[in-house]
Chains A and B, each alone.
Chain A
Amino acid sequence: DQQVKQNSPSLSVQEGRISILNCDYTNSMFDYFLWYKKYPAEGPTFLISISSIKDKNEDGRFTVFLNKSAKHLSLHIVPSQPGDSAVYFCAASPNTGNQFYFGTGTSLTVIP
């Protein structure tokens, strides 16, 4: 049972434009959400996180939005750069546990 879903396996965006990656979850106990970026042959790299008490968190070109009522979060990358091309995973953790649940990833390609 996939508790965290990324329904878009891939996304292509022109350099300089906005990239929007989406993630949905089903477990209402999740209260901490993260985005990871993964290059081939490397482990996932932490990008940005948000706790359920917030609806937005910004770090440079990266912004994560959380809509708790819709059980939906998104990652915005502005402006997109070719080096952003990677697989992006969203992850969520419940307030009662320590394991993170990951989505299946979205492969982002930024076209120069």
Chain B
Amino acid sequence: DTGVSQNPRHKITKRGQNVTFRCDPISEHNRLYWYRQTLGQGPEFLTYFQNEAQLEKSRLLSDRFSAERPKGSFSTLEIQRTEQGDSAMYLCASSARGSNQPQHFGDGTRLSIL
């Protein structure tokens, strides 16, 4: 069990640029989640995949955000035309199939918009 891996750990970019983050879940987990966390807050749900299907999206996920999970393995989260308010920690988590399974988190990607 190598855990959930996220890359890059840090991303600094100018406002208006596009950024893409990658998440590699625990290999036997079929469920994958993206969260956003800002200072002083808990993680906020963005979107959820079961295998390659994106099954839930939060209203926090504006049309500038897109997530994919081709082949049901790794996932990418892209933010287009970044804004100052996008600065946050972006966390990925995965869980095993079945009910009442805990989510296991990666160490996140910290995004800073200049």
Contacts and interface: CB of A to CB of B under 8 A. Distances in A.
Most A CB contacts (10 A, CB to CB) among B40, B58, B99 go to B99
A102 B38 CA distance: 12
B28 interface: no
Contact of B102 (A42, A46, A98, A105): A46
Contact of A89 (B31, B43, B48): B43
Contacts of B107: 41-43
Contacts of B45: 99-101
Contacts of B43: 44, 89, 100, 102
Interface residues of A, number: 23
Interface string B32-68: 0100000011111100101000011010000000000
A46 B56 contact: no
Interface in B89-112: 91, 93, 99-100, 102-108
Contacts of A102: 42-44
A65 to B, nearest CB: 17
- Contact count band on B: 20 to 34
B106 A103 contact: no
A34 to B, nearest CB: 6
Given A42-B107, A43-B106, A46-B102, A99 B42 contact: no
Contacts, number: 57
B42 A43 contact: no
A98 B108 CA distance: 20
B79 interface: no
A49 B56 contact: no
B63 to A, nearest CB: 20
Nearest to B3: A43
Nearest to A39: B107
Contacts of A91: 42
B102 A49 contact: yes
User: Which 6 A-B residue pairings sit nearest by Cβ, starting from the closest?
Assistant: A102-B42, A43-B105, A99-B45, A46-B102, A43-B107, A32-B100
8 contacts: A4-B42, A34-B103, A44-B91, A98-B31, A98-B33, A99-B56, A100-B43, A104-B41
